[in-house]
Amino acid sequence: MSRPASDVRAFEAHATDADLDDLRARLAAARLPEAETVPRAASGSRRWEQGVPLADLVEVVNYWRTGYDWRAFEERLDRIGQFRTVVDGLGIHFLHRRSTRADATPLVLTHGWPGSIAEFIDVVDELADPQDADAPAFHVVVPSLPGFGYSDKPAGPGWGTERIAAAWVELMGRLGYREFLAHGGDWGGNITTVLAGRFPAHVLGIHTLFAEAPPGLTTDGLTAVEREWTEQTRDFWRHRAAYAKQQATRPQTIGYSLVDSPVGLLAWILDKFAEWSDTEDSPFETISRDRILDDVTLYWLTRTGASAARIYYESHNSLDPGLRVDVPAAISMYPRDIEKCPRPWAQERYRRIVRWRAPDNGGHFPSLEVPRYFVKDLREGLAAVLAAQA
């Protein structure tokens, strides 16, 4: 049974001046390695073959220390509306923006790693109160995953994606939303799939950027493009997923660096924004430095580098092979995302795909890379989901 809404408390983000001064001091005193040993003529993505290039990191560190404004991000969160409540014994932080529209539908947006609630702050208002009166409107809820941001850090094992999905059902019910829509990518996509598969009585339908097929499917009958998707995904897990294996097996070990060194944390996260975005050279071609630093600074100030990494330890390769999603699903596979699932494979798990899109642009962080298209795609996908309920 849901606890009463009175258990939900307003929350304000406010780092102390001492914490911000400490961050700037650590950045000023950072010990950096020598430059990467890639050919001097290397350009574009080749510059990143050994990781974040020294020159790029120095530029971002200098801006983080002298130009970046954390207070502006705090004020943005407060304007949207922040809250905390205890679910299943753990304090959960979330943004909650109620629409002014009487016909609005509840929607939970779930982030992944190395993302955070920062992924959605530029799209929440337009989803809640669209300028176009004919566009669907949503009561938007954006939780911070356990161990991320202003949510509590689990003190023991067991907070995997199944438990998180159950917690989201409890959270939405506490806000008065017995039935709701769900969206996510990365771990948020995994959790969205679990929500739809385990709690169909509460989930009206989903929009996801992550469609994980059951294991053991054949490539027979796939198109050339779909075969290429499977090859790209296989290459990613074979050659570019060391970060996931580290966090799935030794999150505590890497956690010391992520919590103790802001430069180490920045490099660990910036590497993924660079590799997983639809850009040719730098993630800043499509995502502002401020947005990436909002995300990194949130990890830093909340000391969640280790606790966030543990979601891999708890849930890596844990999606139930037999889980099926029977509620309506809209699925979008962005071209530069790290995993892309062919539709024939996806249909083995998601049994009522009502809309399928493969956009021309965008990567792993479309709400930051292509926010206008992301909002349009999410609206149209969820509209198709709701129409399927009629």
Residue-level length of the chain: 390
The 8-class DSSP code of residue 350 comes to: B
Beta strands in the chain, from DSSP E residues, in sequence order: 9-10, 82-87, 90-97, 105-110, 138-143, 180-184, 203-208, 329-332, 353-357
CA distance 108 to 100: 17
User: Would you give the end-to-end CA distance of the chain in angstroms?
Assistant: 28
Q: Residue by residue, what is the 3-state secondary structure of 109-170? A: EECCCCCCHHHHCCCHHHHHCCCCCCCCCEEEEEECCCCCCCCCCCCCCCCCHHHHHHHHHH
Closest-CA residue to 291 (of 91, 130, 63): 63
CA distance 182 to 171: 13
Backbone angles phi, psi at 302, to 5 degrees: -95, 0
> Contact, 53 vs 47, CB < 8 A?
yes
How many CB atoms are closer than 10 A to CB 19?
Answer: 13
- 3 state DSSP class of 47: helix
Query: What pLDDT, on the 0 to 100 scale, is given for residue 68?
Result: 98
Question: Which domains are assigned to the chain?
Answer: 5-29+71-238+321-389 (3.40.50.1820)
Query: What pLDDT, on the 0 to 100 scale, is given for residue 6?
Result: 65
pTM over 0.85: yes
Closest-CA residue to 249 (of 313, 203, 320, 199): 313
Lay out the sheet containing 138-143: strands in order across.
Answer: 9-10, 82-87, 90-97, 138-143, 105-110, 180-184, 203-208, 329-332, 353-357
Closest-CA residue to 87 (of 203, 147, 166, 11): 166
Q: What residues of the chain score a pLDDT lower than 50? A: 1
CA distance 169 to 184: 15
Q: Which two tokens stand for residue 90?
A: 């753990």
CA distance 74 to 294: 9
Query: What pLDDT, on the 0 to 100 scale, is given for residue 1?
Result: 43
DSSP strand pairing (203-208 vs 180-184): parallel
The amino acid at residue 194 is V
CA distance 350 to 212: 9
CA separation, residue 251 to residues 261, 266, 274, 307 (Å)? 15, 17, 22, 8
CA distance 38 to 42: 7
CA separation, residue 267 to residues 25, 88, 242, 256, 292 (Å)? 18, 34, 15, 14, 11
DSSP strand pairing (138-143 vs 203-208): unpaired
